[in-house]
Amino acid sequence: MDRVIVVGGGLAGVRSVEALRAKGYEGELTLLSAEPHRPYDRPPLSKAVLLGDSDDTTVDADWAALRCELLLGERATGLAPAPAGGGTLRTTAGDLPFDGLVIATGATPVTLPGDGPQHVLRTIDDARRLRERLREGARIVIVGAGWIGAEVATAAAAKGCAVTVVEAADAPLANAIGTRIGAHTVPWYAEAGVTLRTGVKVAAVEHGGLALADGGRVDADEVVVGVGVRPELGWLEGSGVEIDGGVVVDESLRTNLPGVVAVGDCAAWWSRRYGRRMLVEHWDTALNAPEVAAAALLGQDAAYDAVPYFWSEQFGRMVQYAGHHPSAERLIYRGDPGADAQWAACWFTGDRLEAILTVDRPRDLVQARRIIAAGTPMDADAVADPAVPLRKAVIS
């Protein structure tokens, strides 16, 4: 293999470059990014950047030592694979031949219908533009009480804005962690001076606010939309790459085409642990999966089967989640969400911990993540006692 191209300038892209060099790849290496900026970290965008505490989240990478050509501000427009492997990448910079290809094009925020202006938060430029609008007294309406919506609301409230969050579900974070757990976060909004309206569907974004599905209206100086993302895959149309929600890859992150792997928000990878395909659009996957993808591209044995993990900083709280709970049998609390500042929710099947959500209990998260990965049985009664460390609740 003499020429590898990484398509995508996010964290998954830069980590793929680093992993290829670390594993001994010595050939030509190119990273193509649609953004004009060098690869940067996205989690701080809805936190430090919006608050004005940071203006640069560039990933610390030594591009000279990596011997990687950067094609910034250029997009992939198509892919023409060769029957025996490799092929040609169609781009706005021209056709680029390759022996190996890493697809790391990430995801694009979903927008709402209507002719009114709406902000999304995906890029550093998005964050800088929105930050300029977060002035004291400005009426900021956020559509979606998910992770991004809550973080933007946190920053806007801290800057003295009049913040309203509109959510179609019956509770915040309902799609991510369920209505029952999400309902415990409702008081956080009021404490921060944020108006939360659940069970409200938006018909369109108009100039000056939102038109609601029930005929109502919410006035706003600025509208922020945080209702999810979709993998950026339009450029792969007609390429033969299998797509089902994301780029379909095996447990080694290989696509159905030889010499082509996929990582990050656009990759739907097979999990041996869960017996299903996973599309995990979070920082931890973008950080760690590229090592497996690089190994697979170089013909080495490797499998990615991590326990999904993500976190959010909202309304002065650190919220962390690890695992996968849709098929869990029961829910056990550590602490009382209605009375305790620090608590956790644990999902179990039999005596196995499937997933955990923690609020300001980082030690629980660290220990639980290891226990979930190992599949170690636990004493549920001990787990329910927040004074008992989770590692002490393991059945030996």
Q: For strand 352-359 and strand 317-323, is the pairing parallel, antiparallel, or unpaired?
A: antiparallel
CA 101 vs CA 66, 89, 216, 281: distances in Å: 17, 9, 49, 20
262-301 in b/e form (b: 16+ CB < 10 A) is: bbbbbbbbbbebbeebbbbbbbbbbbbbbbbbbbbbbeee
Domain-wise residue ranges, the chain? 3-108+230-297, 111-225, 318-393
Q: Is the pLDDT of residue 294 over 90?
A: yes
pLDDT at 333: 97
Q: Is the pLDDT of residue 1 over 90?
A: no
pLDDT-derived band at 396 (thresholds 50, 70, 90) equals confident
Q: Which residue has the tokens 């938006």?
A: 202
Same fold, 3-108+230-297 and 111-225: yes
CB atoms within 10 A of CB 150: 29
pLDDT digits (tens, 9 = 90+) for 227-273: 999 999 999 999 999 999 999 999 999 999 999 999 999 999 999 99
List, in order, residues 6 or more apart from 299 with CB less than 8 Å away: none
CA distance 24 to 282: 27
What's the whole-model pTM score? Answer: 0.94
Class of CATH domain 3-108+230-297: alpha beta
- Over the chain, what is the mean pLDDT? 96
pLDDT at 84: 86
Mean per-residue pLDDT, 335-359: 97
Mean per-residue pLDDT, 204-233: 97
pLDDT digits (tens, 9 = 90+) for 162-203: 999 999 999 999 999 999 999 999 999 999 999 999 999 999
Mean per-residue pLDDT, 280-284: 90
**Residue of 202, 209, 48 whose CA lies nearest to 138:** 209
pLDDT digits (tens, 9 = 90+) for 41-80: 999 999 999 999 999 999 999 999 999 999 999 999 999 9
pLDDT at 83: 87
Q: Is 161 in contact with 138 (CB distance < 8 Å)?
A: yes
CA distance 145 to 122: 16
Which DSSP symbol is given to 306?
Answer: P
Q: How many CA atoms lie within 13 A of 355 on its CB side?
A: 23
List, in order, residues 6 or more apart from 216 with CB less than 8 Å away: none
Does domain 111-225 correspond to CATH entry 3.30.2350.10? no
Q: Is 338 in contact with 184 (CB distance < 8 Å)?
A: yes
Q: Is the pLDDT of residue 362 over 90?
A: yes
Q: Which residue has the tokens 């927008």?
A: 111
Q: Which CATH superfamily is domain 318-393 in?
A: FAD/NAD-linked reductase, C-terminal dimerisation domain (3.30.390.30)
pLDDT digits (tens, 9 = 90+) for 145-156: 999 999 999 999
pLDDT at 197: 98
CA distance 233 to 320: 29
List, in order, residues 6 or more apart from 51 with CB less than 8 Å away: 155, 158, 159
